[in-house]
Amino acid sequence: MAANIYVTRRIPQAGLDQLHAACGEFDMNPDDRVLSHAALIEAVRGREGVLCLLTDTVDEAVLAAAGPRCRVFANFAVGFDNIDVAAATRRGILVTNTPGVLTETTADLAWALLFAVARRTVEGDRHFRSGHWDGWAPMQFLGHDVYGSTLGVVGAGRIGTAVALRSVGFRTRVLYANPEPNAELDAIGGRRVSLDELLRESDFVTLHVPLDDSTRHLIGAHELALMKPTACLINTARGPIVDEAALVVALRDGQISGAGLDVYENEPAPAPGLTALDNVVCLPHLGSATLATRSRMAVMAADNLIAALHGERPPNVVNPEALDARA
């Protein structure tokens, strides 16, 4: 099947091979960098299918440029807040994502951040490398125990659940805030509580909700003020869930003890003052970044795109009602 496909940036080879086998030749951004919005509009013009990334803002203008022949925007991510799904649906364009395959990898990273913040490992590494370390000291880099602490999981979907289940070996008490009870978390003694109660009681608060209008700035100055001064916030979900300017103030003023961030409100830029703080560990959006997981995501995105071009319902469609708009 020859189809007019565009890939907005190089993804792992397994996905490109899959596309090639099913669709023959396709075009891809030759540069390993994000396309500007104007370049994205030009690149997708008249395409039948686009494989895009969370760094591509797929808005009305981009969808309009793709035009009436376009069947699908296959996102190489589980989150799809970068895409105007309602606008895509109106145009009969399917949107797909890559759920499931990155759950465990992202849950691992949330714990990596949690430990890094709790035990101040990045600060310690920086100090050691500076050449100023003059040996063991009784009061140096004192952190917080993870073992026996209270873990607050905001959003008990796939990733939140995987994060909470990892806590068993650390004998942490699990609180979770979620619209529905979660049987897996209840089975390990997790307790479903309100967000306010979770924020007041937890030693570590970890965010796992999708970004939408209901979760934008879910954690702002008011919520940070509810947290214990010894507590740490972990965000591996989406940056705008946290009011990052308010977080800088809370970290600077000691309202909370620390934060571990993998995502930012205006990626790739940090909020002013954030990177000057020692009590925050900042990663460059690495949640799903293992070779195996990114390869699985690439194959999954390619499979979604291929199915849509075949006129089939893709395995991971976000807006199946777009099929009706087309019919």
Applying CB under 6 A, the residues found at the interface with ligand GLV are: 54, 77-79, 102, 287-288
Q: What is the closest distance, in whole angstroms, from the C-beta atom of residue 161 to ligand GLV in the complex?
A: 16
For residue 269, the SS3 value is strand
Q: Which of 120, 285, 294, 296 is catalytic?
A: 285
Q: Which is it for strands 49-52 and 27-28: parallel, antiparallel or unpaired?
A: unpaired
Confirm whether 132 is a catalytic residue. no
- Minimal distance, residue 300 CB to ligand GLV, in Å: 11
CB of 190 to ligand GLV, least distance (A): 24
SS3 for 157-224, per residue?
Answer: CHHHHHHHHHHHHHCCEEEEECCCCCHHHHHCCCEECCHHHHHHHCCEEEECCCCCCCCCCCECHHHH
For ligand GLV, the closer CB: 102 or 117: 102
- Minimum Å gap between C-beta 69 and ligand GLV is 27
Catalytic residue among 9, 71, 91, 238: 238
The pair of structure tokens assigned to 186 is 């209840």
For the question of residue 238 being annotated catalytic, the response is yes
Tell me if 302 sits within 8 A of 75, measured CB to CB.
no
With tokens 């709790």, the residue in question is 118
**CA 70/CA 76 separation, integer angstroms:** 17
CB nearer to ligand GLV: pick between 258 and 287: 287
Q: Nearer Cβ to ligand GLV, position 150 or 235?
A: 235
Residue 109 to residues 46, 234, 283, 287: CA-CA distances in angstroms? 39, 10, 10, 6
Q: Which of 191, 267, 313, 326 is catalytic?
A: 267
Query: Has 285 been annotated as catalytic?
Result: yes
Beta carbon nearer to ligand GLV, 78 or 198: 78
Least CB distance from residue 255 to ligand GLV, whole Å? 27
CB closer to ligand GLV out of 54 and 174: 54
Residue with tokens 């600060």: 123
Residues with a known catalytic role: 238, 267, 285
